[in-house]
Amino acid sequence: MNGELILFFVLAIVAISAALGMLFSRNAVYSALFLILNFATVAVFFLLLGAPFIAMAQVTVYAGAIMVLFLFVIMLLGAEQIQHQARRGWQRPLAMLLTLVLLAESAYLIFTRSDVLTVLQPAAADYGSPQSIGMLLFSEYLLPFEVTSILLLAAMVGAIVLVKEDKKSGGQK
């Protein structure tokens, strides 16, 4: 067992724990923080996999900007907690059961079919560098890139349309 593998397991345990933490925290703020931890851990994985640019984006955009926005909204609404009401009691156990089934299916798949899947070899030097990604974005992936820009524009318009106070219904808070 080499160092990299140990690192992988440690990080994996952290990531999974963080995910579980997010899942089961009563307080939404803690959930968000756990999720940030998870994202950060995944960013390390990205680094391990030779994707520094993506790791950067993960930390700045995801863990940074997006999660801050989440925290902001949680604070803004004061909606950290929801009164506990035991409604629809079968939903939770059923969901867990199904999740377990899904995991069992994945395990079956992994252990019976894919345990010999490619062992990753050290990558080329400029693999995953910002330059190479950038080149790709503006050449091969021009169309998705442009679509993304429109998508963001549309989302922006949508967000504004939703939140903008109507003059007619100005009486509302």
Partner 1 sequence: MIPVSYYFALSAILFSLGALGVLIRRNAIIIFMSVELMLNAANLLFVAFARANEALSGQVFVFFVIAVAAAEVAVGLALIVVIFRNRQSIDIDEMSNLKG
Partner 2 sequence: MDFFSSADLITALPLVFLTGWACILLLVAAFAGKRPGLLPALSLAGLLATAYLLVSQMGLEAEAFGGMFVTDGFSTFINLVLALGGVLSIALSYDYLQRMGIAKPEYYVLMLFSLSGMMLMASAADLIVVFLALELLSIPLYVLAAIGRPDARSEEAGLKYFLLGAFASGFLVYGIALVYGATGTTLLSGVVAAAAAGLEYPIYLVLGAGLILVGLGFKVAAVPFHMWTPDVYDGSPTSVTAFMAVGAKAAGFAALLRIFVAAFPSISEQITPVLFAMCAATLIIGNLLAISQSNVKRMLAYSSISHAGFILMAVVAYGNDAVRFDVVSSALFYLLGFTFASFGSWAVVMAMEKSLGRGLDFKDYAGLFRRSPGLAIAMLVFMLSFAGVPPTLGFAGKFYLFRAVLEGGYVWLAIVGVVASLISAYYYLRLVVVMFMQDGEPEVHHEPMLKITAGLTAVATVLLFIFSEPLFAWASQALLRIF
Partner 3 sequence: MDAFALVPWIVFFPLIGLVINLAFGRRFGERFSAIVGTLAVLSAFVVAVLQFVSLQAHPHGAVVPLADWINIGSLQIPWAFNVDTLSVTMMLVVSGVGTLIHIYAAGYMHYDVRYKEDPGSFTRFFIYLNLFIAAMMILVSGNSYLMLFVGWEGVGLCSFLLIGFWYSRNPDGSKGLLNSQAAKKAFVANRVGDFGFLLAMFLTFWAFGSLSFDQVLPNAAAVDPRIIMAITLCMLIGVTGKSAQLPLYVWLPDAMAGPTPVSALIHAATMVTAGVYLVARSAPLFGAVPEAGNVVAIVGAVTALFAATIAVAQNDIKKVLAYSTISQLGFMVAAVGIGAYVAGMFHLVTHAFFKALLFLGSGSVILALERAHHPLDGHHDEHHDDHHDEHHDDHHAPFDPQDMRNMGGLRKQIPTTYRVYLIGALALAGLPPLAGFFSKDEILTDALHANMLVWVLLTAAAFLTAFYMGRQIWLVFFGEARTKAAKEAVESPSIMLIPLGILAGLSVFGGLINVPVLHPFTDWLEHTLGHDFAHATVFNFGVAIFSTVLALIAIYISWRLYGRKPLAAGEADPLQQRLGFMYKGMQNKWWVDELYDALIIQPYRRLAAFLADVVDWRFWHDWVHDTLIGRGFGALARFLAEPVDMGVIDGISRGLAALAKGLGRGFSLLQSGYVRNYALMVFFGVVLMIGYLVFSS
Report the nearest approach of partner 2 to the CB of residue 117 (Å): 7
Is 95 a residue that touches partner 3 (CB under 8 A)?
A: yes
Q: How far apart are CA 37 and CA 18, in angstroms?
A: 6
Exposed/middle/buried for residue 71 (C-beta within 10 Å: 0-12, 13-18, 19+): middle
> Hey, which residues between 50 and 109 contact partner 1 (CB under 8 A)?
50-51, 53-54, 57-58, 61-62, 65-66, 69-70, 73-74, 76-77, 79, 82-83, 85, 87-88, 91-92, 95-96, 98-99, 102-103, 106-107
58 binds, among partner 3, partner 1, partner 2, none (CB under 5 to 8 A by kind): partner 1
Residues 136-155 that bind partner 1 (CB under 8 A): 136-137, 140-141, 144-145, 148, 151-152, 154-155
d(CA 37, CA 56): 15
CA dihedral (53, 59, 62, 63) in degrees, to 10, reads 170
Three-state secondary-structure class, residue 131: helix
Binding region for partner 2 (CB under 8 A) out of 16-24, 38-46, 49-57, 109-117: 109-117
The residue among 119 and 168 lying less far from partner 1, judged by its C-beta, is 119
125, 24, 126, 32: which is closest to 73 by C-alpha?
Answer: 32
Task: Work out which of 78, 139, 167, 170 binds partner 2, going by CB under 8 A.
Answer: 139
